[in-house]
């Protein structure tokens, strides 16, 4: 199953966001993959600073891993770049698919 969700980047944080993701920890990437998450992309709308994420799931979503210590550590590192909840998780809203073409 493919899901999409949106988050919000703080103004002026694009470069830092891209840098941190280009250096994503191999352990975090493995955790996502072992949890059934693949084909994961994040896009930025520069006019609104909205991050648009899409991922293929074959099990859990990245949002389901909130209690994992590695995910919590990642959130703590990313909290200065984006809008977050009190637990440092990104404020995200799941999006509903309205069209798909193979």
| Per-residue pLDDT tens over the stretch 2-60 | 999 999 999 999 999 999 999 999 999 999 999 999 999 999 999 999 999 999 999 77
pLDDT in tens, 70-94: 999 999 999 999 999 999 999 999 9
pTM for the complete prediction? 0.90
Structure-derived torsion over alpha carbons of residues 38, 51, 6, 92, reported in degrees to the nearest 10: 100
d(CA 78, CA 70): 12
Residues β-bridged to residue 53 = 5, 42
Please report, for residues 10, 50, 75, 93, 94, the alpha-carbon distance to residue 28 in angstroms, rounded to integers and kept in the order given.
23, 23, 11, 22, 22
Band of pLDDT at residue 63, cut at 50, 70 and 90 = confident
Higher pLDDT: 66 or 61? It is: 66
Q: Quick one: DSSP state of residue 13?
A: -
d(CA 102, CA 88): 36
Task: Kindly list the structural domains of the chain, giving each domain's residue range(s) and its CATH number in brackets, ordered by start.
Answer: 2-95 (3.30.70.100)
Higher pLDDT: 78 or 63? It is: 78
Say which residues have a Cβ less than 8 Å from residue 21's Cβ, sequence separation at least 6.
42
Provide the annotated active-site residues. 21
């Amino acid at each position: 199953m493919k899901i999409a969700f949106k988050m919000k980047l703080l103004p002026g944080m694009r470069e830092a966001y891209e840098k941190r993701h280009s250096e994503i920890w191999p352990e975090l990437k493995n955790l996502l993959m072992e949890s059934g998450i693949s084909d994961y992309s994040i896009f930025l709308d520069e006019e609104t600073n909205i991050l648009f994420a899409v991922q293929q799931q074959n099990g859990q979503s990245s949002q389901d891993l909130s209690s994992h210590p590695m995910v919590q550590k990642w959130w703590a590192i990313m909290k200065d770049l984006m809008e977050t909840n009190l637990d440092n998780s990104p404020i995200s809203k799941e999006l509903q698919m309205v069209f798909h073409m193979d």
